[in-house]
Structure 1
Amino acid sequence: VRNRDWRWRALLWHFLMWTTVDAQTRYSIPEELKQGSVVGNLAKDLSLGLSEIFERKLRVASEAGKQYFSVDAGKGELLVSDRIDREALCGQSANCVLPLQVVVENPLQLHRIEVEIRDINDNVPRFQTQEIKIKIPESVAVGTRFPLESAEDPDVGSNSLKTYTLMKNEYFSLKFKEAKNGKTVPELMLEKSLDREKMSTHQLLLTGLDGGNPIKSGTCKILINVLDNNDNVPIFNEKEYVVSLKENSTKGTFVVRVKAADADEGVNSEIKYSFGSRTPETVLSTFEINEQTGQIVLKGALDYEAFTSYLIDITAKDKGVPEMEGHCQLQLDIEDVNDNAPEIVLTSKPSPVREDASHGTVVALIKVKDIDSGNNSKITLQLPNGLPFSLKPSFSNNYALVTSGALDRENTSEYNIEITATDAGFPPLSSKKMISVSITDVNDNPPVFSQSAYNVYLKENGVAGSILYSVSASDLDTGENAKVSYSIVDSKVHDVSVSSYVYVNSENGSIFSMHSFDYEKVKVFRVQVEAKDQGSPSLSSNATVHVFILDQNDNAPAVIYPSPHAASHLRVPRSAKAGHLLTKVTAVDADSGHNAWISYKVAEATDASLFTINLYTGEVRTKRAVYEHDDSSQKLIVEVKDDGEPVQSATVTLSILLEDGVSEPVLELRHKASEPGKKGGRITLYLIVALASVSVLSLLTLLVLGVKCMKSSTSGATCCVRRTLSDDDKKPNRNLHIQLNTDGPIKYVEVLGGDVMSQSHSFRSCMSPMSEYSDFTLVKPSSTTDFKEVISVLDASLPDSTWTFESQQVSATLVCTQGELRAFHLIAISTFPLFLFN
């Protein structure tokens, strides 16, 4: 606590004496000096008289915490007051400097001095184990290397470990390998083939020498056992694995997985992993290895200050007789964890700042410090994002808090500025300081809407004058500057002013409809609302209200074919079988969604057992074969209903005549084709030629349509999408019509069952006598700019997951160009029948 008080007082004096030029003095002494040894003459180096030392109360404070030095007040000398062990203070660091603060009073001055602690050769190289045991097969090749244990010397520089020597012998020599951590690793290399029968053991002596004067050394005995038989050594995938771990890694953290392979078979190839036999206890207590998988995990705590790295020998042994083993090394580097947070000192209290203060106005003065060293003491100051303040560096970790942007009292009348000081350590440590700054007022705030855009959904056929929505804007100013009025910004909807659709209450922002809306005429429009305050000059802002008209089931299905206004008779041969197709009833609904899903049923029939209609497609077929006693004149009333609520419906009457002698073209064609002879062959040829001609004409027609579409687009780049419906979703949506619309930035896709002739262009093509469906509908194009948005709205508009039927194909093709999107809807295209004749 006393040391900490001295630090605070020294830092405070340093802060108060900004105008004082700090004297920088550096001494250099060897470690292990006796107590009372003279480091240097402070009085002379600081230009102080001996009388001033006592009168001005000169004292020395160590920033390291422990007091290693004192001052002789009579001589003005700096003395050693405690044992200084360089290795304990600085470890393996090349430079070891103790910073000191010299404080004198009257007048108050702060001087910083540094004492460099030089290393002396007071440590000998030391091996962790006194004896290294190595097992080497007699069949090992000459030149094979075996890693040896490295010696450790706490000294640095020339006093550290320099080299190794090996006792002279004819079988082995000493080689060296440079590890990535800069250390030299000794290796034993085989110079001559081993013969177990001649010599089964070898004893060698390894000596580690430092570079001190005099030289100091340490020794280690090497005992080599020569093994017989099993002649394949497990080989690791890598000779050296390099891994780094954070100092604060928790127990169980995965380190690395080593992998070795043995070329032998059976038990001779089964491998067990372990740490080397000479692995120190510090490694064994910190790490563990799975002997089966080779996975190494952390089982103890890491301490960067104790060990900055580990060089671990890993052994892979097979289960042969004798055992063969391979070696690799794991270099594990420990990443330091920063453990001292920076400190922020406020040197002046902030004064209130005007809202219109210019950039660079000084608000407060601060100072930062960090008792760590190196990158861990490098401090970065940071302010929260979005504040109109910044930090301007001054000198020696001093900063000024200044304005850097426009201030707004109505938005923030007082800023609680949290200054964060973060050091450059890993992980970085930080501290925070809160500074409160008051802002004086200036009128400068426009009204602000609660939302920049509103979506309003309104049912069609509503009552005129009903409220659609209420927008709200607030103004952070006070008095007249905060009073807001609302108005509609004039714009066009279908070439009509938007004010003819809606109006807004100027006081409360409520938007009312001017009349009832019809979904079939207006589906969506946009309203721009302006909010203006009463200030001088007045300020304003706009918000967009998107009004979507929701469809109601107010349109009954309309029968397109057969025409309900024109009388027609259907002729059916009495030879017709069950399933014979009479006609297809086609209807549309001007509504959309479920309201436009159409279903068909027989409401009334002369003979209910004779005819049936498909619920979804409207195909009228015979339920059974026509009997001779059936009435020649049949009447069928078909009811067409939508899926809305309440249900809307329409009916159409079919008059059917049962006649003899009416033949089916396809049956006759097949009958004639089955007749043998030259005439049948000619008919076959004619049919093939006709079929090919029709196919060519169809392709030419599609090609012409494609060329016209491309010419009408503004760009040559097109994109297409095609989807089909599945059999699982046989809903009454067989009369779908896709309408793509846009209103400025509002884009949507409408799936309708409405009046095709009012929404699109319809064509009918007779593709063959047996075609069940032949409607082709081309929906009129609408402009859009975002194809992906169209597809997403299309997916949201249809309840079905996919679009495919069992007996028909329904597809939607969207062709988009730059600035234009065209939609095509192909309804119920049946497969063109193809007849092959032998």
Structure 2
Amino acid sequence: MPERLAETLMDLWTPLIILWITLPSCVYTAPMNQAHVLTTGSPLELSRQSEDMRILSRSKRGWVWNQMFVLEEFSGTEPILVGRLHTDLDPGSKKIKYILSGDGAGTIFQINDITGDIHAIKRLDREEKAEYTLTAQAVDFETNKPLEPPSEFIIKVQDINDNAPEFLNGPYHATVPEMSILGTSVTNVTATDADDPVYGNSAKLVYSILEGQPYFSIEPETAIIKTALPNMDREAKEEYLVVIQAKDMGGHSGGLSGTTTLTVTLTDVNDNPPKFAQSLYHFSVPEDVVLGTAIGRVKANDQDIGENAQSSYDIIDGDGTALFEITSDAQAQDGVIRLRKPLDFETKKSYTLKVEAANIHIDPRFSSRGPFKDTATVKIVVEDADEPPVFSSPTYLLEVHENAALNSVIGQVTARDPDITSSPIRFSIDRHTDLERQFNINADDGKITLATPLDRELSVWHNITIIATEIRNHSQISRVPVAIKVLDVNDNAPEFASEYEGFLCENGKPGQVIQTVSAMDKDDPKNGHFFLYSLLPEMVNNPNFTIKKNEDNSLSILAKHNGFNRQKQEVYLLPIVISDSGNPPLSSTSTLTIRVCGCSNDGVVQSCNVEAYVLPIGLSMGALIAILACIILLLVIVVLFVTLRRHKNEPLIIKDDEDLRENIIRYDDEGGGEEDTEAFDIATLQNPDGINGFLPRWGLPTQRWEERNAIQTGCV
């Protein structure tokens, strides 16, 4: 340490001596009568400066130097002399006092007020504060009056190499692709030195690698780190630790240094193809496995990582390409073999597949190494399983006429056991699909027979399910749907499509269409319906009406003459025979009711008689309306009567404070017999009008009493 301090002091004082020699070129002329001289340096230099100042003082010229220097980190026991403050107004009589103010005055820097010597009394650190601005002034010692204006100057702290370089952002991490060429840039690092970069070489840094060779190199001045070996392989070594040094003083001896670490990771590139772990894979699968089930997995290993290791799997050859498929599992990076179509042990017992694994992301830089793919052989053995019966058809469609005889055979279903050791089959009907038990099946041969009569007009289709069960293993069952269509036979006669009623105007004309009717048939002939219309044989020569067949399979009824009179006959009944075209044909007779009505001149019906000419059942519409009107009228009368009775002044009941005994007539006659009874009617006590005083007198004949009572009540 003393040797380093000596070198530092030597480096410091040498430029100061040169500066002192060349000082005359850095002066300016002060006023003739006053000047400050700021001196700095060693005591010898200060003595020479004092001598020169005396010479300059005699010539009325002064040196003014506004900057002083003090060495940082000075560790002496005595205060270090920074410089001397002097004015040419000082004749040496010690009547001038020097005053120092500004940064650090009195605490860091102290001035001898007589001699003007400035000392640093504390150890200074340039990195903490590089310069101090102070103000010097000369005043009269006795009066403290200023002898000249104050003068400002700067004390700079002289740097020494007391700070080592530091990597503030370390440790560092960087990546570089594997297989990179020589000199590929990895990253750069930066160190800082707190020393003065403009003075000396204290902050001049040089970089070097202490550890990490021969894989990496560093530029001494820029600290750019590069690869020093080509084609480094991540699969061989993925991570490297590099120790970097920064040294000041331009790297010369005696300089300070700092170190940091850099971790370099090689990133993966796709430079390796996939490789199957084995060339042959064996799998076995039951023949009854569900479609889509995973049968087995194959895996091709890839030394790369991430997307560079992703491979797609395909079946490129083999005798099972139509039955199997392979998919890629992105998570496990393997291929999953699945079943696409059903297997049959009795048909084929084994399959051979050739599968391929190929990288998805190819790096063209390494395509010359060969194809980035690999192949393997997969053998799949089919195992026998106890399979359920197999029907000869997945569905059955049967037809039967609705007039088929009971126990007649409708159709037959067949099934077999596909296993080598074939088992007999028994058939049955799922009764949940045949709740009415309309069909039976022979358990041995599967023939379906009719159990109950059919009616197509009630149900055209019957859907049942047939069950086939192995006799040796009742758990092995199969089901098949059977649709039974009921075929039509002509078993329903045609009839009117609705209840028709015709209206004939009294002033109608001959040939006028009274009503058009159509027929319907519940049967469903193949060629559609075709109806024949006719009148009853005894009404063929009907004098009033005739019929006409229309092209749309309907019938029109026409009037033969005019002059119909509803007073003479109000209703006519016209029976019509309707026949279908079935084999054999069926027919029925429907009766059309024709009413004679009064019409306007343009043929609009205005009124018809409410009474029907023939009422085979119930009442006519007119009669019902008349009865309803009478009921409504009667209800209105009852309501009015009750309302009027409530508005009378006298109540309809006997008041509680009246004594009925006042209305009883006492008499002592005896033996009157009927005469006594007629003389007084006990029912009068219950007559409300009796309350109003209209009571019969004794001996008044009953007839006269009734007449009087009627007059009073307003009934006569």
- Assess same fold via TM > 0.5: no
> Higher Cα Rg: structure 1 or 2?
2
Report the TM range for the smaller structure's normalisation: 0.3 to 0.5
TM-score by length of 1: 0.31
